[in-house]
Chains A and B, each alone.
Chain A
Amino acid sequence: MLIRRSSPPGIPSSEITDEKLYWSRREWLASVGFGLAGAGLPGLQGEALKPTPYDLVTGYNNFYEFGTGKDDPKANAHTLKPKPWGIVVEGDVKRPGVYDLDDFFRGLAPEERVYRHRCVEAWSMVAPWLGYPLRDVIKRLEPGPKARYVEFITLLDPVQMPGQRRRVLDWPYLEGLRMDEAMHPLTLLVVGVYGKPLPNQNGAPVRLVVPWKYGFKGGKSIVRIRFVEQQPRNTWNIAAPNEYGFYANVNPAVDHPRWSQARERPLGQFFMKPTLMFNGYADQVASLYAGMDLRVNY
Chain B
Amino acid sequence: MTEAQAIRRLVKPALWLAGLTPLAWQVWAFFTGHLEAEPVKGMEHFTGRTALVILFITLSVTPLRRLTGWNGIIKVRRLIGLFAFFYALVHFSIFLVFDLALSFGDLTREVVKRPWITVGFSALLLLAVLAATSPQAMVRRLGRRWRTLHRLIYVAAALGVLHFTWAQKKDIRLPLIYAGVLAGILALRLVPARAAVRPGPLRRR
| A68 near B38: Cβ-Cβ < 8 Å | no
**Is B37's beta carbon under 8 Å from chain A?**
yes
| B40 near A270: Cβ-Cβ < 8 Å | yes
Chain A: number of interface residues, binned into ranges:
20 to 34
Chain B: number of interface residues, binned into ranges:
10 to 19
Closest partner residue, chain B, to A60 (CB atom): B37
Q: What residues on A are CB-neighbors of B38 within 8 Å?
A: 60, 70, 123, 265, 267
Q: What residues on B are CB-neighbors of A229 within 8 Å?
A: none
Distance of A280 Cα from B104 Cα, bound (Å): 28
**Is B169's beta carbon under 8 Å from chain A?**
yes
| B37 near A56: Cβ-Cβ < 8 Å | yes
Q: A258-B114, A258-B166 are in contact. Are A270 and B98 (CB under 8 A)?
A: yes
| B37 near A168: Cβ-Cβ < 8 Å | no
Distance of A214 Cα from B110 Cα, bound (Å): 22
Q: What residues on A are CB-neighbors of B166 within 8 Å?
A: 258
Interface string of B96-125 (1 = CB under 8 A from A): 001101000000001000101000000000
B95 to chain A, nearest CB (A): 11
B93 to chain A, nearest CB (A): 14
Which residues of A (237-274) have their CB < 8 Å from a CB of B?
Answer: 239-240, 257-260, 265, 267-272
DSSP class of A's interface residues: helix, strand, loop or mixed?
Answer: loop
| B170 near A239: Cβ-Cβ < 8 Å | yes
Q: A265-B38, A270-B39 are in contact. Are A168 and B98 (CB under 8 A)?
A: no
Which residues of B (129-187) have their CB < 8 Å from a CB of A?
Answer: 166-167, 169-171
| A268 near B171: Cβ-Cβ < 8 Å | no
A76 to chain B, nearest CB (A): 14
Distance of A270 Cα from B166 Cα, bound (Å): 23
Sort A-B residue pairs by CB-CB distance and give the 3 closest, nearest first. A60-B37, A68-B171, A267-B37
Q: Known pairs A121-B169, A123-B38, A267-B38. 15 more at Cβ < 8 A?
A: A56-B37, A59-B37, A64-B170, A123-B37, A169-B170, A239-B170, A257-B114, A258-B116, A258-B167, A259-B114, A260-B110, A265-B40, A265-B41, A267-B37, A268-B39
